[in-house]
C-alpha cells in the first residue's frame, strides 16, 4: 500500500470517529425536553388564551438559530410560537415565574401527526437566563401535557403558564410548576452546529477516499 493511500485510510478513520462523536454530542444536547413522558391530556391555545413553557440557557449565544418542537394533537387554525424574556422582579420578589416581553416570533415549520416544529433563524441568548415559549393560535390548537414535571436537559424547569383575554392578555399570567407542563423539546444551538460539522466531515471523508483510489 502506498504512503498516500495509507495516510488517507488513517485520515478516513479519524474523520469517521469524529463524525460519530459529533453526532452523539448533537443528539444529547438539549435545553429542555419533556416529550419522553406519557401524554395525560391536552390544553387549548387560541387567540384569547395563551400557553407558555420555560427553559434556562446555560451559555451566551450570539445570533444563533433556535428550534423548538411541541406535541400537538389537533389544530383548526395557524399556531404561533414566540420567544419571550422572563419577568425579573427588581423589588426583591420572585423572578422567572412568568413571561415578560416578546423577543422574536418563530417560523412555523412542518407539522406531522402529534407534533409541530418551529424555528428562529437568529437570536441572542444570555447565559443563566430564563426564556419562555409562548403559544397562541388563530383558531384552536390542542397541545399535549404530561402529569409529571420531570424532564431532561441542562435548562429544564418544569414550569408553565397561561394567560387569558380578560383585558390583560399577555400581561397577567397564571403560573404553575407542579402540574401539567406542556410537552416540548428545545435543543441547544450547538446541536445544529454539530450536525453541520458532521456534514462537513463526511464531505472530506468522501474526498479522502476518492484520492486514495
pLDDT at 122 over 60: yes
In 3D space, the residue among 107, 106, 97, 180 whose CA is nearest the CA of residue 144 turns out to be 180
**pLDDT per residue as tens digits for the range 77-96:** 889 999 999 999 888 778 88
Predicted TM-score of the model (pTM): 0.75
pLDDT at 1: 54
Burial of 22 by CB count in 10 Å (0-12 exposed, 13-18 middle, 19+ buried)?
buried
Looking at residue 190, what is its pLDDT? 63
pLDDT per residue as tens digits for the range 37-91: 889 999 999 999 999 999 999 999 999 999 999 999 888 888 999 999 999 988 8
123 touches 66 (CB < 8 A): yes
Question: DSSP secondary structure string, 79-113?
Answer: EEEEEEEE---TTSS--SSSEEEEEEEPEEEEEET
Answer yes or no: is pLDDT of 203 > 60.
no
- Evaluate if residue 5 carries a pLDDT over 90: no
- Picking from 97, 112, 88, the residue whose alpha carbon sits closest to that of residue 52 is 97
Query: Which CATH number describes the domain made up of 31-187?
Result: 2.60.120
pLDDT reading at 130 higher than 60: yes
DSSP state of 152: B
Q: Residue 151: name the closest of 30, 20, 17, 60 by CA.
A: 30
- Per-residue confidence (pLDDT) for residue 75, from 0 to 100: 82
Would the pLDDT of 191 be above 80?
no
Report residue 32's pLDDT band, with 50, 70 and 90 as the boundaries: very high
What is the mean predicted confidence (pLDDT) over 160-183?
87
195 vs 145, more confident:
145
pLDDT at 99 over 50: yes
pLDDT at 205: 40
User: pLDDT class for 18, splitting at 50, 70, 90?
Assistant: very low
Average pLDDT estimate for 2-18: 41
* Average pLDDT score, the chain: 79
Amino acid at each position: 500500500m502506498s504512503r498516500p493511500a495509507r495516510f488517507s485510510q488513517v485520515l478516513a478513520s479519524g474523520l469517521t470517529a469524529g463524525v460519530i462523536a459529533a453526532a452523539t454530542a448533537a443528539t444529547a444536547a438539549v435545553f429542555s425536553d419533556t416529550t419522553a413522558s406519557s401524554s395525560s391530556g391536552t390544553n387549548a391555545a387560541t387567540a384569547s388564551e395563551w400557553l407558555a413553557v420555560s427553559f434556562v440557557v446555560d451559555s451566551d449565544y450570539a445570533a444563533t438559530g433556535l428550534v423548538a418542537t411541541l406535541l400537538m394533537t389537533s389544530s383548526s387554525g395557524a399556531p404561533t410560537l414566540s420567544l419571550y424574556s422572563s419577568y425579573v422582579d427588581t423589588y426583591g420578589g420572585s423572578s422567572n415565574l412568568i413571561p415578560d416581553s416578546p423577543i422574536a416570533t418563530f417560523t412555523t415549520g412542518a407539522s406531522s401527526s402529534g407534533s409541530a416544529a418551529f424555528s428562529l433563524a437568529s437570536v441572542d441568548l444570555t447565559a443563566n437566563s430564563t426564556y419562555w415559549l409562548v403559544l397562541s393560535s388563530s383558531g384552536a390548537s390542542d397541545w399535549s401535557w404530561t402529569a409529571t414535571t420531570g424532564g431532561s436537559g441542562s435548562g429544564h424547569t418544569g414550569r408553565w403558564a397561561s394567560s387569558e383575554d380578560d383585558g390583560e392578555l399577555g400581561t397577567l399570567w397564571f403560573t404553575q410548576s407542579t402540574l401539567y407542563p406542556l410537552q416540548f423539546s428545545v435543543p441547544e444551538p450547538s446541536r445544529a452546529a454539530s450536525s453541520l460539522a458532521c456534514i462537513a466531515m463526511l464531505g472530506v471523508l468522501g474526498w479522502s477516499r476518492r484520492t486514495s483510489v
